[in-house]
Structure 1
Amino acid sequence: MSDLSLQYTENHFVSSQNLGMSSSKIRHKMVDRLCAMGLSDPRLIKALQMVPRHLFVDEGFLPLAYDESKALPIGYRQTLSQPLTVAKMTQWLFAENDISPVKKVLEIGTGSGYQSAILAMLTQQVFTLERIAPLAVEAQEKLISLGLSNITFGNGDGHWGWNENAPYDAIISAAAPETLPTELIQQLKIGGRLVLPIGKQAQRLTGYIRHEDRIEEVDLGTASFVPMLSGIQPAG
């Protein structure tokens, strides 16, 4: 990425949290470990240093909030992806490609909202879709309280994407379909990237790049994510 500016500054998080930056050092240590594992994008490094992951973690798991290798439960049989996975997926999604800079991203699986916050730092518009209504509401309240104003929230089935706001420069999914949903590819711009886990038992983290005449597939390694389920789970 040539433009090193982010959508928000560190001062933004200080004022919006009203909690100071008490965990800044531990976040930097987490990012240092991620860099030793291959994280290199300077904007993503800064975003991970700034976004307070502990605010997206249930109180009982706070001691593990900055363990780069831990995925944590967030209720409703869902998990908050480990920072290593967030870094790997996001770095690939924003790598130099035919669309630079990436301005419009669709996220499948809002979950706790942590990945949404990272995306909001890096791009102009984030559209995030969550099938479990209570999780969607909790994440929306949290992200709005942090003053992240470039996120649009939806409650829907990730298999179908969010066609009303397509096309997207990039799409990322934190849930694993058994096979690639063609709707997601169709909602990508030419040159756009999609990253998601694929499979039921043995999952592979897979990247896709949409070209004019073909879909390029990139194997990014083994994965272990919650399944992408069909339908919407309402509140109550």
Structure 2
Amino acid sequence: MQIRLAITDDHPLVINGLKAMLAPYQHIQVVLESHTATALLEALPETQPDVLLLDIRMPEMDGVELCRRVHRQYAGIRIIALTNFMELHYIRQMLRNGASGYLLKNTNQEALVEAIEKVHSGEQYLDAGIKQQVVHEMLTGQRSSGFDIPLTRREQEILKLIAEEHSNQQIAELLFISLRTVETHRLNITQKLAVKNTAGLVREALKRGLID
């Protein structure tokens, strides 16, 4: 049985890597590639895949909201969240918004194909590492160490400046980087810490001992 696949990720290297991993599997055909939420939503009326690999972190609209929209408008498309983030907060949101699977970007070829085949057949799929940690957290109410994704040195610098109430523009000037780069790092930090705003970011960072 042929599986028509779409991939939405803002990094071309990710899409190319996934296509290379899937190339040996003739029953999986990549019919749609998009780098933004807008591009995906514009293409779907003409090209509807069976399965969509969807990045959670997107520049125009985050994958959580995009998942909800796609699922609402095209219920027949099976969605697999594709991400580097293992926070239960995101897993719950994606599954609640219609995703059938949750897969880490560092997955191997066999797991990628298994995830696509399983969701296409109507099953759900969770990355093995995620499944173990989700069960641990649900049973104990505590995060296992796998959820404590470390921040990069640059993210730590930006987090400290955010806590000191610097604006994105001020941070860009202090670190001699572009405003867009600051915004990207800030989004990465909020996703890694599973928070929604600056107050939550600072509160979670203090709880984890990432800032003083």
Per the normalisation by structure 1, the TM-score is: 0.26
Give the structure with the larger strand fraction.
Answer: 1
Structure ID, larger Rg: 2
* Structure holding more helix per residue: 2
